[in-house]
A and B are shown apart, each in its own frame.
Chain A
Amino acid sequence: MNELSQPPLLAAHGLRFHRNDELIFGPVDFHVSRGEAVLVHGENGAGKTTLLRVLAGLLRASDGRIEIDGAIADRHKVAESTALLGHLLGHKGELTAEENLRFSLGIYGQRPGLSPASALAAVGLAGFEDSPARTLSAGQRKRLALARMLSIPARLWLLDEPYANLDLPGIDLVNRLIAHHLHRGGGALVTSHGAYATGAVRTRTLVLRAASASVMEAST
């Protein structure tokens, strides 16, 4: 690790967000390095989703600054280097799994060496390429969204409740995908209620409480 010579993938300094004068979270200070996953814990309403949406650039922070690779994150830089997996997965029910994935690759770009079919197979959707997304189960739709995360070039994953709707093999799949992503030099910020370990990867935990936050170091 040469963290001193290399700025972290993502760094937030004094980040705060207000909605209608009400403080949702913050101030938060944290960073995500390459090859590292940060778990965001917090009660319902602590602002986990809002934090991810601020980092993705969908909401504007009321205070503080976000840096990507040590430089202030503008909209283009954020769009290029981050990918958000939120509660709304963005699939079109009328389109097949593969058509949905191909569209995402069209607008986000594509990692070399991974065809849509192999990405679908990697998330356990082999054989469902031509099924309309509307006929997939909630867990399968989540897997389709994971195939998108796997295939696009974004280095920083913002995963909002990635374990929701997934069965045990699915939870294991998320952990393996995160590990794979970290091994190829990416970073991840993961919100979850449960204490799902992310396997043999470097993790830290960020605890959000209403109107304050602290970072706890935890080794796995």
Chain B
Amino acid sequence: MTQPSASRAVRALLRRDLLLVWRRRGDAINPALFALLVASLFPLAIGPEPKLLSQIAPGIIWVALLLASLLSLDTLFRSDLEDGSLEQLLLSPQPLALMIFVKVLVHWLTTSLPLLLAAPLLAEMLFLPAKLMPVMMASLLLGTPLLSLIGAMVVALTVGMRRSGMLLALLALPLYVPVLIFGAGCVMAAAQQLPYEGALYLLGAGLAMFSVLTPLATATALRISLT
């Protein structure tokens, strides 16, 4: 009898989720489009003043990306819950936390990575100085997986409810605030030639810690939600 090995299960889940995103690729670019729309409204509302826009660009980009990733959160477990495959995952002899980590990873790859690719475009649109781009991208690279991990935990708590959209936002946003502050803050600091490494290190430390802790918390939350 072939024992179900964890690495085989990880590969199977990776393959399935990526394949699903590919088959639903029309939906997958929605978050990036949303972020693009939000960010492109600011120059229209504020006026095309390069000086002002370049000052607030880090904040706008971060907020646009944060909202876009919040919007896409609900899809993380929703369809799996509705068709019963989440149940199958819970019943399988695999460590649930590991399976959740894989799901969050795929979710980040398919919703946040397109956002990251759109970020240089947003930066150009908002006159963000080119020398700030490395810091901006570094903060997004560390911050967006953090958003996905925190979001997964909150989604797991609310997935059993029918209309969880508003509750999800209310629960997730306070937890997102520190990421936003450090993420946008370090770019702002770099713009004023202040030391910005500290905030990046903190984001990195948070990412390391939450990579370990949130899958465990999410697994527990899912088991609670489904009973």
Chain A contact residues, CB within 8 Å of chain B: 56-60, 76, 79-80, 82-84, 86-95, 99, 102-112, 153
Contact = CB atoms under 8 A, between A and B. Distances in A.
Nearest to B12: A106
Contacts of A79: 91-94
A125 B136 CA distance: 53
A84 B16 contact: no
B163 interface: no
Given A90-B83, A92-B16, A103-B15, A108 B93 contact: yes
A107 B83 contact: no
A142 to B, nearest CB: 12
Contacts of A103: 12-13, 15-16
A102 B93 contact: no
A58 B94 CA distance: 15
Given A80-B93, A89-B84, A99 B19 contact: yes
Given A88-B83, A90-B84, A93-B83, A58 B91 contact: yes
Interface string B85-108: 101111111100001000000000
Given A92-B85, A94-B20, A106 B1 contact: no
Judged by DSSP, the binding face of B is: helix
B193 interface: no
A104 B8 CA distance: 11
B149 to A, nearest CB: 22
A86 B19 contact: no
Contact of B8 (A57, A89, A106): A106
Interface string B181-220: 0000000000000000000000000000000000000000
B162 interface: no
Contacts of A109: 1-5, 93
Contacts of B84: 86-91
Contact of A107 (B3, B19, B92): B92
B24 interface: yes
The 4 A-B pairs at the shortest CB distance, nearest first, are namely A106-B12, A88-B84, A109-B4, A90-B84
B80 to A, nearest CB: 9
Nearest to B3: A109
A106 B79 CA distance: 20
B167 interface: no
A95 B12 contact: no
23 contacts: A60-B227, A79-B91, A79-B94, A86-B84, A88-B82, A88-B84, A88-B87, A90-B84, A90-B85, A92-B79, A94-B23, A103-B12, A103-B13, A104-B88, A105-B12, A106-B8, A106-B13, A107-B12, A107-B94, A108-B4, A109-B5, A109-B93, A111-B1
A82 B4 CA distance: 14
Nearest to A105: B12
Given A92-B16, A109-B2, A109-B4, 16 more contacts: A58-B90, A58-B226, A59-B227, A84-B87, A87-B84, A88-B83, A90-B88, A91-B84, A95-B19, A95-B20, A103-B13, A104-B88, A106-B9, A106-B11, A106-B16, A107-B88
Contacts of A58: 87, 90-91, 226-227
A86 B226 CA distance: 14
B4 A92 contact: no
B89 A107 contact: yes
B88 A92 contact: no
A111 B2 contact: yes
A24 to B, nearest CB: 13
Contacts of A57: 91
Given A79-B91, A95-B23, A107 B4 contact: yes
Contacts of A112: 1-2
A83 B92 CA distance: 8
Given A60-B227, A109-B3, A83 B91 contact: yes
Contacts of B16: 92, 95, 99, 103, 106
A87 B82 CA distance: 11
A90 B1 CA distance: 24
